[in-house]
Structure 1
Amino acid sequence: MRAARLIRMALLIQSSPGLTAAALARELEVSERTVIRDAQALQEAGVPVRSERGRVGGYFLAAGHRTRLTTLHPTEAETLFLSGLPSALRDLGLSDAAETARLKLTATLLPSVRQAAESSVRRFHLDAPAWFREPATPALLPELARAVWADRLVALTYARPGRDGSPPTTVTRVVEPYGLVLKAGTWYAVARVPGTRTGGGSESPGNTSPGNTSLGSEHGAGRAGGWRTYRVDRITAVDPAPGTTEPFVRDAGFELAAHWEARSAGFARALLRTTVRVRLSERGLRLLPTAVDGAAVADALASAGPPDPAGRVALDLPTESEEVAFDQLARLGADVEVLSPAGLRARFRAHATALAALYGTGNQEAAEASAPGAPGI
């Protein structure tokens, strides 16, 4: 454990000369006293670490010294070579640079570690998009990525989805692009509208028609400041912000992964604005997670009562709307019975009647007569 920490400390000092004991303690999650002891241990091991006092002081390596990565454990190398998403790098226009970096890293590794790293690439591959959907790379993604890298203020023009059947509207907004997220094959941009340094509301559900429950519309369009999330494939233009050429100053406390996790979880629950009561068979309970969002399943199971004499369980299922509930629950067939609301139950009754008519005895005879190879009349 300590050996790994010492290696990490040497690499931190090499990549960021001048880190203070306090900064290293935060990065390594240890005390400043432990940092001082570790620095002494590195010196005793032959790593020329020196500390300097004063306003611009900190820890440095001797001029010209470079720590080679020959001390990587094979498991660490395997993990490192699995950390990239080939499709994401390609979408961002970084696949060539990533391949060059991989070759450079490979050249620094010991033969035994190099073999372990290359072996992991042959054994594991991450294919992020869902089945039966060929994701298209948004045309403006590379330009937006360059703005993210450069902390460049931009004017985004995007199509805000309409609601209740209304057509989409085009909006242009000046934003600070903080990061890009690839979620289930779809790219999202996380940005902040200048005007606040912290806070901002969560994203709007946007278009919530059946099967479309993704982030992608901005929240609080009439307010100044705040965080926004945009689907990149809805962005139609990325232009320099008028009147400024200087990079914006990033919020030092912003962490993209934590921000996304918090906002996406809140978004998923914000969609669940309707509750339907259903009765499920044992098989229906097993299949429910395949048809309904995970957060909704957890809440529904928490409300479940004891099984009735037929083994069926009644529970309250949170969902986006009756329309979405019908689309999801119809997949469970006779393993689910809708108890309320009355309108949704009536819709399932009409659906069942239509199916019975379609597959009735008379229609079966007609289907057999028209099947390929059936004898003529």
Structure 2
Amino acid sequence: MRASRLIRMALLLQSNPGLTAAALAGELEVSERTVIRDAQALQEAGIPVRSERGRVGGYFLAAGYRTRLTTLHPSEAETLFLSGLPSALRDLGLSDAAETARLKLTATLLPSVRQAAESSVRRFHLDAPAWFREPATPHLLPELARAVRADRAVELSYAQRGRDGAPSRVVTRVVEPYGLVLKAGTWYAVARTPDGRAGDDGGWRTYRVDRITAVDPAPGAAGPFVRDPAFELAAHWEARSAAFARTLLRTTVTVRLTDRGLRRLPDVVDGAAVPDALASASAPDPAGLVTLDLPVESEDVAFDQLARLGADAEVLAPDSLRTRFRERAGALAALYRACPQGTGTDEAGDQR
């Protein structure tokens, strides 16, 4: 554990010279006293770490000193070789660069570590696109990726969609593209509008890249924009996607479930709805049934989702949804009562 931490500390100082004891403590999740002891341990091991006091002080490696990657553990090397998604790198126009980097990294590894890394590539493959549809690379993705890497503000033209999913209008907006996210085979751009930073959302916007119709240089932009140093793409995406999922749950239905229905509920409804639904669950009644309030996007969605639970779910409210299930149950009962098994005809002999 400590050996791994010492390696991390040396690599941090190599890439970020001048880190303070407090900053290193935060990165390594230890106390500042532990950082001081670790710095001494590195010095004793022959790694030229020095500390400087003062306003611009911190920890430094001697000028020209570079650590070597031969200290990688085999599992660490495996992680590096699995960290890139081939399809995503291809979409971004980086597959050649990734292959060159992989070859350079391979050349620096000890033979035993190199074998572990190459073995992981043969055994694991990370496939991001979703099932049942051909992945399509948005034609403007490479241009947008170049703007992200260069911190270059752009003017986007974006096709908005109506509630029915059909295109409604094209809007144009100047944005600062902070990052790109691949989610279930779909690319999204996370950007900030320069004139919206004072708003409640800080001016942040998320765009489906396949709906972007044009990417042009921002009018009057001179040089790269100044990124917010506190911005972290992964944390931003996690928070925004969770908030977005909750905003879709605009309706609540009351459901009575069997024990099996309760266990299967997370498999058939939106994941964002499950915590609130379970929190509202009553204690089991004498028959073992549990009643809860389930947040849903709409009655139509609730009908499709809860129908998968069959007789393990009974809708109590609203009445309109309960009526739909009663009508569905009646139609199914009539169908199976009227049709002899395997004939595909009704009682009158008319073929359906």
If the length of structure 1 is used for normalisation, what is the TM-score?
0.82
Q: Which moved more, 1:294-303 or 1:243-252?
A: 294-303
Deviation at 1:160, TM superposition (A): 1.1
- The runs of 5 or more residues in structure 1 that have no matched partner are 202-224, 370-377
- Is structure 2 residue 183 aligned with structure 1 residue 183? yes
Superposed counterparts of 1:313-324, under 5 Å: 313-324=290-301
Q: Which amino acid counterpart does residue 275 of structure 2 have in structure 1?
A: A
2:282 is matched by which residue type in structure 1?
G
- Which residue of 1 is the match for residue 225 of structure 2? 248
How big is each residue's C-alpha offset from its partner over 1:243-278, in whole Å with a ceiling of 9 and x where there is no partner? 113111001111111111111111111221110112
Given candidates 247, 261, 266, the residue that maps to 2:243 is 266
Deviations 1:65-124 (A, max 9, x none): 321111111222222222222222122111221121111111111111111222222222
Pick the aligned partner of 2:315 from 331, 338, 341: 338
SS of residue matched to 2:293? strand
Aligned match of 1:238? 215
Unaligned runs of 5+ in 2: 347-352
Residues 26/238 of structure 1: CA separation in 2 closer, same or farther (3 Å cut):
same
1:252 is paired with a residue of what secondary structure? coil
Q: Which amino acid aligns with 2:94?
A: L
Q: CA RMSD in A?
A: 2.7
Q: CA deviation at 1:33?
A: 4.9
Q: Counterparts of 1:125-144 in structure 2 under 5 Å?
A: 125-144=125-144
Q: How far apart, in 1, do the equivalents of 2:29 and 2:342 lie?
A: 74
Structure 1 residue aligned with 2:155: 155
Alpha-carbon distance, 1:199 to partner = 6.3
CA distance in 1, matches of 2:18, 2:292: 59
- Listed as ranges, the matches of 1:19-98 within 5 Å are 19-51=19-51, 58-98=58-98
1:286 equivalent among 246, 263, 274: 263
Q: Is the 8 A contact 2:49 2:62 kept in 1?
A: yes
SS at match of 2:190: strand
Q: Is the 8 A contact 2:159 2:167 kept in 1?
A: no
Cα distance between partner residues in 2 of 1:4 and 1:349: 62
Cα distance in 1, alignment partners of residues 82 and 310 from structure 2: 41
Could you say which residue in structure 1 is the equivalent of 2:119? 119
Question: Percent identical across equivalent pairs?
Answer: 82
The one-letter code matched in structure 1 to 2:101 is A
Q: Determine the C-alpha separation between the residues in 2 that align with 1:41 and 1:197.
A: 46
- Secondary structure of the equivalent of 2:263? helix
SS across alignment from 2:3? helix
Task: Indicate conservation of the 8 Å contact 1:129/1:184, yes or no.
Answer: yes
Aligned partner of residue 132 in structure 2, secondary structure? coil
In structure 2, C-alpha distance between the alignment counterparts of 1:255 and 1:362, rounded to whole Å: 60
Contact kept? 2:160, 2:167, Cα under 8 Å? no
Q: Which residue of 1 aligns with 2:274?
A: 297
- Whether contact under 8 Å (1:199, 1:227) holds in the other structure is no
Q: Cα distance, 1:198 vs. partner?
A: 6.7
Q: Which residue pairs with 1:110 in the alignment?
A: 110
Number of residue pairs the alignment of both structures matches? 346
Is contact 1:187–1:232 with CA below 8 Å preserved after alignment? yes
* Alignment-mate amino acid for residue 248 of structure 2: L
Partners of 1:103 and 1:90 lie apart in 2 by 17
TM superposition shift of 1:288: 1.8
- CA gap of 1:37–1:283, structure 2 versus 1, over 3 A, is closer
Please say if residues 339 and 345 of structure 2, whose CA atoms lie closer than 8 Å, have aligned partners that are also in contact.
no
Deviates more, 1:93-102 or 1:31-40: 31-40
Deviation for aligned residue 1:47 = 2.2
Secondary structure at 1:134 match in 2: coil
Q: Is the 8 A contact 1:278 1:315 kept in 2?
A: yes
Query: Corresponding residue for 2:174?
Result: 174
Q: Look up the SS of the partner of 2:344 in the other structure.
A: helix
Give the SS at the match of 1:157: strand
* Alignment correspondent of 1:228: 205
Is the aligned partner of 1:193 residue 2:170? no
Q: Does the Cα contact within 8 Å between 2:14 and 2:67 map onto a contact in 1? A: yes
Aligned-pair CA distance for 1:345: 1.6
Q: Which residue of 2 aligns with 1:212?
A: none
Determine the C-alpha separation between the residues in 2 that align with 1:294 and 1:258: 19
Q: Decide whether aligned partners of structure 1 residues 365 and 261 sit closer, same or farther in structure 2, where only a CA change above 3 A counts.
A: closer
Give 1:143 deviation, angstroms. Answer: 1.2
Q: Which deviates more, 153-162 or 59-68?
A: 59-68
1:200-256: CA deviation from partner (whole Å, max 9, x where unpaired) = 43xxxxxxxxxxxxxxxxxxxxxxx61111111111111110111311100111111
Separation (CA, whole Å) in 1 of partners of 2:34 and 2:310: 62
Q: SS of the counterpart of 1:168?
A: strand
More moved, 25-34 vs 181-190: 25-34
Deviation of the 1:36 alpha carbon: 4.2
Instruction: State the 1:157 CA deviation.
Output: 0.9
* 1:237–1:315 Cα change, 3 Å: same
Segment of structure 1 superposing worse, 351-360 or 149-158 = 351-360
- TM-score relative to the length of structure 2: 0.87
Residue 294 to residue 174, structure 1, CA distance change in 2 (3 Å): same
